[in-house]
Structures are given as structure tokens and as C-alpha cells.
Amino acid sequence: MNKIIFISIMASISLSAATIEIAQMPKDSQRIEATAPNVILSYNNAIKDAKKSVVNIATTKKSKQNDQLNELMQNPFFKEFFGNKMPELKQQERKSHSLGSGVIISSNGYIVTNNHVVEGADEIVVTLPDDEKEYKAKIIGQDSKTDLAVVKIEAKDLHVTKFGDSSNLQEGDVVFAIGNPFGVGETITHGIISALNKNNVGLNQYENFIQTDASINPGNSGGALVDSRGALIGINSAILSKSGGNNGIGFAIPSNMVQKIATSLVEAGKIDRGFMGVSIADLTNDLKELYENKQGALILMIEKNSPAEKGGLQVSDLILEIDGVKIKNANELKNTVAAIAPDKTIAITYERDKKVKTTKVKLAKMAGDEVVVSDEKSTVTPIEGLSLLEINDKTRAQYQIPKEIEGVLILDVTDNSKAEKMGFKEGDVIIQVEQIRISSLKDLNNALKEYKNSKKRVIINRQNYRAILVMP
């Protein structure tokens, strides 16, 4: 009995021997009273000038009813069936109206807004702050890929916005959204920057959003997001909401992107983007083990005769910098290259075989995006759990594989196999292993033998997208 008690006491002493230090904030903090006598906390000075440059935009779209029904009724089959006595329905014009916002960027009437605010509009009417006069606006240029547009009104001596540098923003910065929500007139809401460099939101082709919890509601689109100085740091674009109301997740296009796009639209009426000719992706955790650098844009595919190919880049190269600017991920590379004018030569720093190299690429102009087996048999490869088919005319037609895709089709993936754990899926097409292009089962077998004793990158085509898997 005494022995048991002794052991229990020793265990208790042993358990209590561990120590932990809890970090403490300084105790001599100061508290500032927001309700000091005769003192009003106000942001009026921060936004009084900025709001003068935000305008209301009303658009009208005209559409004709009965067009599709008339086409159907004039079909020869129906006309013959009804004895050529089909009446033609009278066209009825229908008008739809919508509201949005815009920001004045020049004293002589240029205004930047969202493309979706003015897209397809037959009439655009702009009203200025504290002014009942209506100005008819014309579209100067549109860019659907960033959802930006520039319109112009005939007016002079307008109050223009002052641009801030959106690359200097930080999460937690106080911001104000100025616009015309729900058509109630000029409204100001405030919040903070919730996140930066948001992409893959699914709104635009080129995304680098500022996320904010400042209320952005229908009608705010195209309005200003300003900082505590009143400097324009973004154009309010969209909200993430199931109901259509504000849920504290709003997105704005950063001012640096706005400035570049708006300037090009005013000066050229269009956007010419640089083009490298690559498909790219982010590094996965598995792929990071194969590279010294853990950030960058990974090349999945290179188009023939493209600037990238002419510059000596290869599939599986990891792009680290463009003209000295660090590239953290695929989205940054896409946005960076698209912002550079065609025909310009850029310096690219990249990693290949764990060595950092450099090359120069002259950008082009982006265009306005073992034995052949029967269709009932497959060949099992050294990749455990995969059944493969070589691609010929018959299998290409049967499995609807585009003619430009060459490789070996994955017909089946065994459940819980090594292949499934590596990420292979039925319908994938293996197109490359490291630097070896795959066009047959023989190519695949030879490639797997050559890299037998090392981890290897396998490039696949999955529903017309490129992906890289790592094989041990």
C-alpha cells in the first residue's frame, strides 16, 4: 500500500515539473478615450475630397421581345404545316435599367468604372456629386478580362481622384467604400483591408483583389475604395454573398492595375498584353521537395515557336523573377507578364535542376486563350494501379481527345493503389515525364526506366488543363 502511494506521489511530482512561459503584452499601455468632452471622432476630413470624384452611373439596355418566337414561326416546316398563314408577331422594345458608380480620373471627363456596369448599354447617364445635371457618357474602352472600363462625359474642371500605391497596402488598414448602393445616392461605408492579392475568386481572368469588410452593395460597383488619406487604392468590384446583400466580404481591383488599364484604354482604346506561351501552376507540397526555391510559377507546357521556347525555357522550370520582380505564384506571373507591352524583352530568372539560371524573352502579343492496343484492352505499366491506352485515331474519337494532345490515356485507376495515392485519375493523359515527351507506351516505359532511381515529375493533361504529379 505504501509503495503504491509513493509511486503516485512521484508521478505527481514528475508531471508538475514541466514549465511554460506565457508571453505578456506590456502592462503600461495607454488608453485614449474616444468620448473625450467636446471631442467628436470623425473621418470627414479623410473622405470629403475623395467623395467629390465619385459619380453615379445609370445605364439603359434595349432589347426586342418575340425575336426567337418569330424565327420559329417563320421556319419553313411550320409555315407549310399551317398553310403559310403564320402571322408575324409585332416587335416590342423592352428597356432595362441598372445603376452603378464610377470615379473621375481626369478633369476633362474621363471616368473609370467596372466593365459590367456599362457592358451592352445603349445609353449611359452620369450624375456628379451635389449636381442634378445629367451627362450622357460614351464608352472609350473596355477590358472584360479585368472588368474595367473608361467612359467620358463632356465636362471641364471636374474634381479628380488621387491615386494611391496599392503595392504598399497592408492587412488591417482602414478603408472607405464610396458609391451609390441600391440607387439611394452617394453613400460612404468603412472597414479594414481583410486580405490582399486574392485570386481564384472566379470573377475575372486577371485577379489580384483587395478584400475588405467595408460594405459593398449592389450599385457600389465601379465606385472608389480609399485609404485614410482619401487616396484611391481600388475600384469596388463585387461581393461574395448568397443573398445579394453585404456579408463583409467585398473585393476591389487594386489602384495600380486600374491606373495601367485606364491609361491604356484612354490612349489606345484597347489593351495589348504580353504573351510568353506557357501554361503554369503553383508548387504543390510534393513538388517543393524537388526545388531549392519554394515559391514561383511552375511551367507545365510551352507552346511551339512561342517566346518561352525561343528563350530556352523548358517544362518544369520554376520561374522566380521577371525583370528583378519576385514571382511568388502562377497568378503573379500571369498578371506581371500581361501588364508588360508586347515586343518588350524581359529578363527571366528561373530554377532548373536546383540551379538558378537567367534568360531573356521577347514577349509576343496575346491573341484575343509498347504496341497500340484495341479499345477493349489496356496495358498495365510499371506504375502500380494504372491501366493505359495508346492514343490512335480510333481511341481519340472514342474518348474525345483533342487532336493536338499526344500521350498515353489512363483508362483505369485501381482503388487504393499507389497510382491513386499519387493523384492519377481516369481520363488523364500522360504527356511528359521530366523532359521526355510521351507519345506511346514505349516512350513511357523508357522514361520510367531512365528516372528509375529518383523522384520524377509527370505532366498530365486533365480536361484540357495541365498538372504535374510527383512519382517516387
d(CA 362, CA 309): 11
334: left (phi over 0), alpha (psi -120 to 50) or beta: alpha
Report the distance separating Cα 208 and Cα 443, nearest Å: 40
Q: What are the CA-CA distances from residue 357 to residues 16, 321, 364 (Å)?
A: 55, 11, 22
Quote the CA–CA distance of 47 and 228 in Å, as a whole number. Answer: 8
Distance CA 6, CA 23 (A): 36
Distance, in Å, from the CA atom of 335 to the CA atom of 333, rounded to the nearest integer, reads 6
Q: Which of 233, 53, 273 minimizes the C-alpha distance to 143? A: 273
Q: Which amino acid is residue 51, in one-letter code? A: K
For residues 317 and 308, give the distance between their C-alpha atoms in angstroms, rounded to a whole number: 11
How many beta carbons lie within 10 A of that of residue 421, not counting itself? 10
Q: Which three cell numbers stand for residue 59?
A: 445605364
Catalytic machinery residues: 116, 147, 221
Place of cell 475588405: 212
The strand pairing partners of 135, in sequence order, are: 126
Residue with cell 484597347: 270
- Cα separation, 399 vs 413, in Å, equals 16
